[in-house]
Amino acid sequence: MKNLNILGAQNSLFNEFISEVRSAEVQVDSMRFRRNLERIGEIFAYEISKNMAYAEQEVVTPLGIANIPRLQEKPVLATILRAGLPLHQGMLNYFDHADNAFISAFRKYYKDGTFEIQIDYLSSPDLDEKTLILCDPMLATGQSLALAYEELMSKGDPLHTHIVSVIASRQGLDYVMSKLPTDSCTFWIGAVDEELTAHSYIVPGLGDAGDLAYGIKE
Amino acid sequence: MKNLNILGAQNSLFNEFISEVRSAEVQVDSMRFRRNLERIGEIFAYEISKNMAYAEQEVVTPLGIANIPRLQEKPVLATILRAGLPLHQGMLNYFDHADNAFISAFRKYYKDGTFEIQIDYLSSPDLDEKTLILCDPMLATGQSLALAYEELMSKGDPLHTHIVSVIASRQGLDYVMSKLPTDSCTFWIGAVDEELTAHSYIVPGLGDAGDLAYGIKE
Amino acid sequence: MKNLNILGAQNSLFNEFISEVRSAEVQVDSMRFRRNLERIGEIFAYEISKNMAYAEQEVVTPLGIANIPRLQEKPVLATILRAGLPLHQGMLNYFDHADNAFISAFRKYYKDGTFEIQIDYLSSPDLDEKTLILCDPMLATGQSLALAYEELMSKGDPLHTHIVSVIASRQGLDYVMSKLPTDSCTFWIGAVDEELTAHSYIVPGLGDAGDLAYGIKE
Amino acid sequence: MKNLNILGAQNSLFNEFISEVRSAEVQVDSMRFRRNLERIGEIFAYEISKNMAYAEQEVVTPLGIANIPRLQEKPVLATILRAGLPLHQGMLNYFDHADNAFISAFRKYYKDGTFEIQIDYLSSPDLDEKTLILCDPMLATGQSLALAYEELMSKGDPLHTHIVSVIASRQGLDYVMSKLPTDSCTFWIGAVDEELTAHSYIVPGLGDAGDLAYGIKE
């Protein structure tokens, strides 16, 4: 298992869904936007699952017995609200027996226009000895992801953590890869974009994933 | 439009889904549990939509023009985390162009075992002149719903609010109907149960909707 | 239960989905077109279910026992290929324990341009004493529906049959209502259009439902 | 691209879904059975898509322009009724812009208990120069698949054909690989089972996929 996996580097349907979530023209249909994030989440789940632990088990069919390698663990699917919900739904579509964690981070703005990320909501099971999959559609500065990871670690010591993001800025990806323990974390990214604006928007990116999925918030 | 609508009072498939979310035997399949809450949310959305404002519009088909009464408003779908997410998803499946709000309320416990509900996360659009649909799967004491409603009112003054809950205790329903303005709120309940335990569980109820959908949290 | 139910006559979200399947502009997205037919099928299923037989049953919850009116029958969902598949999927989304029947009818054209409908495929369970729900998105001349009904009757004698169609021509609806036994059949129509062209297209209608859902066939 | 790809040979979530469709215990939930075939279809679609033709295209985002390798073809998704429908739905979930073909084959039984496969329904677009994906959940003797392929060839000359089956008997797989042109056909199989009974059931297999998805037919 490589430490960093860029799914969009391989030609596949995955890039069709990436194209559609990026496209300003396609984004006007918020149901399709959410559905594309779900499909992206399903494919991430499937590719990550290739790196998990399996053991052969007997399955009783109506006509006999089949020996099939079964998943030996039930991962915890964690996501950052609210933008992460459709991506999380996609993961849950495939890991349908998983436990789940939800985190909310917000940008606390100061008068000078700078901001700090703070966590205001966390719901999580015990993470000890678990495989944790933490997803956030956009990895801009990487600060909210790093903070969410840190907060989750208060809930236990996972065996391994998979970090999932649809679009990452180069700078944000570098940041989280330097902050998180690379021996126990694997990074799964859809596409890496080169530019991050002064207001922390990824360029070309896709805009604000939360607004596109759920509407503008006040 | 009646002020209080108990959907389970009419025989329909709705009660099949209610039966399944209540059944301890069926609940072991968390994917089906979530799917049932989604289907319940879809039916609530459809029944509520019968009371919204419509106006005839021309729709251009490949062969002519049809005049069809179209919905004149885009509601805001609000839900309480995390248990409300599958119900909210069902509403969004039908009101797919809607805007959305998410709220988290938690029980702050005191040493003597009593608790107080507090809000720690709110993401909402401007609610002025909007139709608001606020859903929470379980209406136990009714305190978190009443508090969520109050918090949402800081975001504007909706034209009308629909309160949706799958299972309500008699006591909790009485509480919210006494707290919320009945001229601008309509209540949509799946079933009303008579008992509320000292620990604020609805009996027979269905157990903890959040745990059944997303796993036990620490 | 009325013998003829026009769902579009009541204002609701149902007409939003009808508007979208009719709209030439929205139809270019075939995934949304299929999804709209599914949602229409779900609403038909729900409305039809209000007229089926229920009996109170005990459901054991984690905390007690609830008495809930449960559906006393498992309907058979029949559809006409290929255009009927998304509508059928919607019905199956709600009647998820149902049995199913599939029929294919085709137009056999003669040199003079006239045609005759023939059945070339039928897969069905025994229909004796069952509630049959037969759906076809478009009821143009009504000939294929009448023929499909007749063919299905070779599989047994249903207790009751619900005929479902999204858009019917006035002429086609009159035809099937005159051909089918009105004491054992109930008709559920989304909208009734006045015109039927010489080539048996409904106007304004929506075009060819099969082509819009699955692409042009040779 | 290898000529024969056994997806179950690699550990992944794919085998979880295979285990569930095989399991007599899990099969009692026909909604889950259909959903598992859908998920299997989605993964087949994704893996097949890695072998299709792509070319970089500009996608305009709200903030810039992204260059993304886009799929250069719209495949035709063909399936054999009725058992193939959930698998086909899964493929269509991912190739949502695809065109579609439906075929029905039946076993015509003779007095001595032997049978012959015949085609009674075919709906297909022109297949010239297209990528064809033909799916059938069970590949038992392989006769219906070979016949369906032959029938489809009357609709044009595809560039390439992908044959997809969830569970194949060794004998059936050998048969279709000997009958179909291996230079223009690629085979995608979930699992290969060793035994085929005298009544053409795969052992251990999963039983009758059509009955499990849609109920017993007469």
* Residue A109, C-beta contacts closer than 8 angstroms, at least 6 positions apart: A115
Please provide the DSSP assignment of chain A as one string: --SEEEGGGS-SHHHHHHHHHH-TTGGG-HHHHHHHHHHHHHHHHHHHHTTS-EEEEEEE-SSSEEEEEEE----EEEEEETTTHHHHHHHHHHSTT-EEEEEEEEEEE-TTS-EEEEEEEEE----TT-EEEEE-SEESSSHHHHHHHHHHGGG---SEEEEEEEEEEHHHHHHHHHHS-TTTEEEEEEEEESEE-TTS-EESS-S-HHHHHH----
Residues D78, D183: Cα–Cα separation, whole Å: 20
When the pLDDT of each residue in chain C is averaged and rounded to a whole number, the result is: 95
Mean pLDDT on B135-155: 95
* Chain A contact for D200 (CB, 8 A cutoff): no
- At residue C119, the pLDDT reads 87
Q: What is the pLDDT of residues D90-101, one digit of tens each?
A: 999 999 999 999
Q: How far apart are the CA of C78 and the nearest CA of chain D, in angstroms?
A: 11
Residues A205, A195: Cα–Cα separation, whole Å: 9
Q: Do C100 and D155 touch (CB under 8 A)?
A: no
* Chain C contact for B157 (CB, 8 A cutoff): no
Q: How far apart are the CA of A138 and the nearest CA of chain C, in angstroms?
A: 26
Q: D97: nearest CA in chain C?
A: C30
Contact C132, C152 (CB under 8 A): yes
- At residue D68, the pLDDT reads 97
> Is the confidence at residue C111, as pLDDT, over 90?
no
C:D CB pairs within 8 Å: 74
Tokens standing for residue B89: 């998803």
Tokens standing for residue A98: 């998983």
Q: List the single residue in A30, A121, A210 with the smallest CB-CB distance to B121.
A: A121
Q: D209: nearest CA in chain A?
A: A62
**A-contacting residues in C 19-38 (Cβ below 8 Å):** 29, 31-32, 35
By the 10 Å C-beta count (0-12 exposed, 13-18 middle, 19+ buried), C62 is classed as: middle
Report DSSP state, residue D215.
-
* Chain C contact for D94 (CB, 8 A cutoff): no
By the 10 Å C-beta count (0-12 exposed, 13-18 middle, 19+ buried), C194 is classed as: exposed
Q: What is the pLDDT of residues B102-135, one digit of tens each?
A: 998 777 788 887 878 888 889 999 999 999 999 9
Q: What is the pLDDT of residues C74-102, one digit of tens each?
A: 999 999 999 999 999 999 999 999 999 99
Distance of CA B104 to the CA centre of its chain: 14
Ranges under pLDDT 50 in chain D: none
Q: Do D69 and A11 touch (CB under 8 A)?
A: yes
Q: List the single residue in A120, A125, A214 with the smallest CB-CB distance to B216.
A: A125
Q: How far is CA C205 from CA B49, C20, C142, C147, C211, in A?
A: 24, 12, 14, 22, 14
Selected for mutation to probe chain C from A31, A36, A38 (highest C CB count within 10 Å) is A31
C-chain CB neighbours of D211 within 8 Å are none
* Residue B19, C-beta contacts closer than 8 angstroms, at least 6 positions apart: B26, C57, C59, C66, C68, C70
C-chain CB neighbours of D120 within 8 Å are 120-121
- At residue A159, the pLDDT reads 96
Mean pLDDT on B53-70: 97
* Residue C117, C-beta contacts closer than 8 angstroms, at least 6 positions apart: C105, C106, C107, C108, C143, C144, C147
B94-98, B117-121, C197-201: least confidently modelled range = B117-121
Subunits adjacent to chain D (3 or more Cβ pairs under 8 Å):
A, B, C
Q: Which residue has the higher pLDDT, B217 or D2?
A: B217
When the pLDDT of each residue in chain B is averaged and rounded to a whole number, the result is: 95
A-chain CB neighbours of D64 within 8 Å are 195, 203-205
When the pLDDT of each residue in chain A is averaged and rounded to a whole number, the result is: 95
Q: What is the pLDDT of residues D145-169, one digit of tens each?
A: 999 999 999 999 999 999 999 999 9
* Chain B contact for D16 (CB, 8 A cutoff): no
Burial B75-110 (b: 16+ CB within 10 A, else e): bbbbbbbbbbbbbbbbbbbbbbebbbbbbbbbeeee
C-chain CB neighbours of B13 within 8 Å are 45-46, 49, 71, 94-95
Q: What is the pLDDT of residues C129-149, one digit of tens each?
A: 999 999 999 999 999 999 999
Q: Which residue has the higher pLDDT, A108 or C18?
A: C18
- Angle at which helices B30-49 and C13-22 pack, to 10 degrees? 90
What is chain A's alpha carbon radius of gyration, rounded to the nearest angstrom? 18
**D-contacting residues in C 51-90 (Cβ below 8 Å):** 76, 81-82, 85, 89
D-chain CB neighbours of C101 within 8 Å are 217
D-chain CB neighbours of A52 within 8 Å are 11
What is chain B's alpha carbon radius of gyration, rounded to the nearest angstrom? 18
Q: Do C102 and D82 touch (CB under 8 A)?
A: yes
* Chain B contact for A189 (CB, 8 A cutoff): no
Residue C2 banded pLDDT, cuts 50, 70, 90: confident
Q: How far apart are the CA of A178 and the nearest CA of chain D, in angstroms?
A: 26
Q: List the single residue in C124, C215, C218 with the smallest CB-CB distance to D217.
A: C124
* Chain C contact for B184 (CB, 8 A cutoff): no
Subunits adjacent to chain C (3 or more Cβ pairs under 8 Å):
A, B, D
* Residue C218, C-beta contacts closer than 8 angstroms, at least 6 positions apart: D124, D125, D126, D155
- CA dihedral (B47, B48, B49, B53) in degrees, to 10, reads 140
Q: How far apart are the CA of B213 and the nearest CA of chain A, in angstroms?
A: 9
Q: Taking the model in full, what pTM does it have? A: 0.96
Selected for mutation to probe chain C from B22, B25, B206 (highest C CB count within 10 Å) is B22
Q: How far apart are the CA of A38 and the nearest CA of chain C, in angstroms?
A: 15
- At residue B111, the pLDDT reads 86
D-chain CB neighbours of A71 within 8 Å are 13, 15-16
* Chain B contact for A154 (CB, 8 A cutoff): no
Q: Do A120 and B121 touch (CB under 8 A)?
A: yes
Distance of CA C28 to the CA centre of its chain: 23
Q: Do A22 and D68 touch (CB under 8 A)?
A: yes
**A-contacting residues in B 105-134 (Cβ below 8 Å):** 120-121, 123-126
- At residue B107, the pLDDT reads 73
- At residue C118, the pLDDT reads 84
Q: How far apart are the CA of C181 and the nearest CA of chain A, in angstroms?
A: 42
- At residue B109, the pLDDT reads 82
Q: B59: nearest CA in chain C?
A: C23
Q: Do D31 and C97 touch (CB under 8 A)?
A: yes
Please provide the DSSP assignment of D79-136 as one string: EEETTTHHHHHHHHHHSTT-EEEEEEEEEEE-TTS-EEEEEEEEE----TT-EEEEE-
- At residue A110, the pLDDT reads 85
Selected for mutation to probe chain B from C1, C7, C12, C30 (highest B CB count within 10 Å) is C12
How many percent of chain A have pLDDT more than 90? 88
- At residue B115, the pLDDT reads 78
Identify any residues that bridge with A169 across adjacent strands, giving them in sequence order. Answer: A193
Ranges under pLDDT 50 in chain A: none
- At residue A113, the pLDDT reads 77
- B26 SS3 class: helix
